[in-house]
Amino acid sequence: MEDIIVRYVSRFILPFVQLYGLYIVLHGHLSPGGGFSGGAIIGASMILYALSFNLAEGSKKLSHDVSSILESTGALIFAGMGLISILLGANFLANGAAGFPLGTPGNLFSGGSIAIITFGVGIKVASTMATLFYSLIEEEHSHEHH
Amino acid sequence: MIDVLKYLILFFLVFCAVFVARTKDMLSAVIIFAAYSLMMAILWLLLAAPDIAITEAAIGAGVTTLLLVAAVSKTRREE
- Inter-chain CB proximity B67 and A137 less than 8 Å: no
State the helix-helix crossing angle for A114-145 and A35-52, rounded to 10 degrees.
30
- pLDDT band for position B40 (cuts 50, 70, 90): very high
By the 8 A CB rule, do B40 and B13 touch? yes
- Residues on chain B touching A43 (C-beta within 8 angstroms): 63
Residue A81 C-beta-side C-alpha neighbours within 13 Å: 21
E strand or H helix at B46: helix B26-46
**List of long-range contacts for A61-67, beta carbons under 8 Å, 24+ apart:** A62/A127, A62/A130, A64/A131, A64/A134, A67/A127, A67/A130, A67/A131, A67/A134
Q: How far is B78 from chain A (nearest CA, A)?
A: 20
**What's the pLDDT at A145?**
46
**Length of chain A counted residue by residue:** 146
Q: How far is B56 from chain A (nearest CA, A)?
A: 8
Mean pLDDT calculated for residue range B64-79: 85
**What's the pLDDT at A112?**
82
Q: To the nearest whole number, what is the mean pLDDT of chain A?
A: 85
Q: How far is A47 from chain B (nearest CA, A)?
A: 8
Among the partner residues B51, B63, B74, nearest to A40 by beta-carbon distance: B63
Residue B11 touches chain A, beta carbons under 8 Å: no
- pLDDT band for position A139 (cuts 50, 70, 90): low
Determine phi and psi for A92, rounding to 5 degrees. -65, 130
d(C-alpha B32, C-alpha B69), whole Å = 12
Q: How far is CA B25 from the centre of its chain?
A: 16
d(C-alpha B41, C-alpha B54), whole Å = 7
- pLDDT band for position A136 (cuts 50, 70, 90): confident
pLDDT, one tens digit per residue, over A73-104 is: 999 999 999 999 999 888 888 888 888 888 88
> Which residue range forms the structural domain that includes residue A63?
4-145
Per-residue CA distances from A24 to A15, A65, A119, B17 (Å): 14, 26, 10, 30
d(C-alpha B55, C-alpha B70), whole Å = 21
**What's the pLDDT at A55?**
73
**What's the pLDDT at A1?**
55
- pLDDT band for position B39 (cuts 50, 70, 90): very high
**What's the pLDDT at A110?**
83
pLDDT, one tens digit per residue, over A104-131 is: 888 888 888 888 999 999 999 999 988 8
Q: How far is CA B45 from the centre of its chain?
A: 15
Q: Chains A and B: how many Cβ contacts under 8 Å? A: 45
d(C-alpha A10, C-alpha A52), whole Å = 7
B34: how many CB neighbours lie within 10 A of its CB? 19
Indicate the DSSP class of residue B25: B
**What's the pLDDT at A146?**
43
* Secondary structure (3-state) at B55: helix
Determine phi and psi for B25, rounding to 5 degrees. -80, 120
With a cut of 90, say whether residue A144 has pLDDT above it: no
**What's the pLDDT at A140?**
53
With a cut of 70, say whether residue A141 has pLDDT above it: no
Among the partner residues B53, B58, B70, nearest to A41 by beta-carbon distance: B58
Domain tally for chain A? 1
d(C-alpha A83, C-alpha A9), whole Å = 44
